[in-house]
Amino acid sequence: MTPPPTVAGVLLAGGLSRRMGGGDKSLRVLAGLPILARVIARARPQVTALVLNANGDPARFHEFGLPVVADSIPDFAGPLAGVLAGLDWAAGVAGTTHLASFATDTPFLPVDLVARLTAAVSDGKYDLACAASNGRTHPVFGLWPLALCEDLRASLRSGMRKVDQWTARHRLAVVEFPAQPYDPFFNTNTPEDLNEGERVSRAADATRRAAPG
């Protein structure tokens, strides 16, 4: 067994939100709260430290009280650029061995995400891990070792942009999460998704109220 990872986290908000009509979709309100607030509430307890990856003026996220780091790779290079920014930041967090990444448009992400991803790499057979549900992988919900930071930097500088293309170069564990009573990786890409998110939120609240204890 290898020593358990010490995990920091990065919230990926560096995209252009084209399907939402532009702007920061993580700042849209869902059931009375910004989506980002819901994501932070679920992600923060799972990691030792948390950073927000976003481009542009960081002041728009001031109310959330998180450090903000921009992509070091230009021209909105996608989620891998956000992971790299997170890895560079996490290298300055004492004792950190791994980085967990979270999308910021997924208000119902699993509260045991990091625990299950770290368990998947604990025997040393895998380099990194990502989540899956309902027959689909969710590579932006990943666990990334700081030791692969320079490999990722070189790949991005060579033009690589697809997460799956880069992870295929390494030993990847895929961790399946149940998609009932709702998919925890439901994401709010469009205005229609916001409406669906309201419905899912009500269902999730009902499930919690019905739970014993």
CATH number at residue 15: 3.90.550.10
- Residue 14 has a pLDDT of 72
- Residue 57 has a pLDDT of 93
At a CB cut-off of 8 Å and minimum separation 6, what does 192 contact?
Answer: none
Residue 62 domain-assigned (yes or no): yes
- Residue 20 has a pLDDT of 42
Residue 69 domain-assigned (yes or no): yes
Predicted TM-score (pTM) of this structure: 0.90
AA letter at 30: L
Closest CA to 140 of 151, 152, 132: 132
Residue 178 domain-assigned (yes or no): yes
Its domain, for residue 189, covers: 7-210
Print burial letters for 90-122: b (CB count within 10 Å at least 16), e (below 16): beebeebbbbbbbbbbbbbbbeebbebbbbbbb
Residue 2 domain-assigned (yes or no): no
DSSP-derived 3-state class of residue 197: helix
Torsion of CA 190, 44, 77, 70, to 10 degrees: 120
Residue 1 domain-assigned (yes or no): no
- Residue 200 has a pLDDT of 81
End-to-end CA gap in the chain: 36
Residue 150 domain-assigned (yes or no): yes
Q: In total, how many domains does the chain have?
A: 1
**Residue ranges of the alpha helices (H) in the chain?**
35-43, 79-90, 113-121, 149-157, 163-167, 191-210
User: Cα Rg for the chain, rounded, in angstroms?
Assistant: 17
Residue 53 domain-assigned (yes or no): yes
Residue 79 domain-assigned (yes or no): yes
pLDDT tens for the 213 residues of the chain, in order: 456 689 999 999 975 544 444 568 899 999 899 999 999 999 999 999 999 999 999 999 999 999 999 999 988 889 999 999 999 999 999 999 999 999 999 999 999 999 999 999 999 999 999 999 999 999 999 999 999 999 999 999 999 999 999 999 999 999 999 998 889 999 988 888 888 888 888 776 666 666 665
Cross-strand partners of 93: none
- Cα distances (Å, whole numbers) of residue 8 to 92, 97, 133, 137, 164: 10, 8, 23, 22, 22
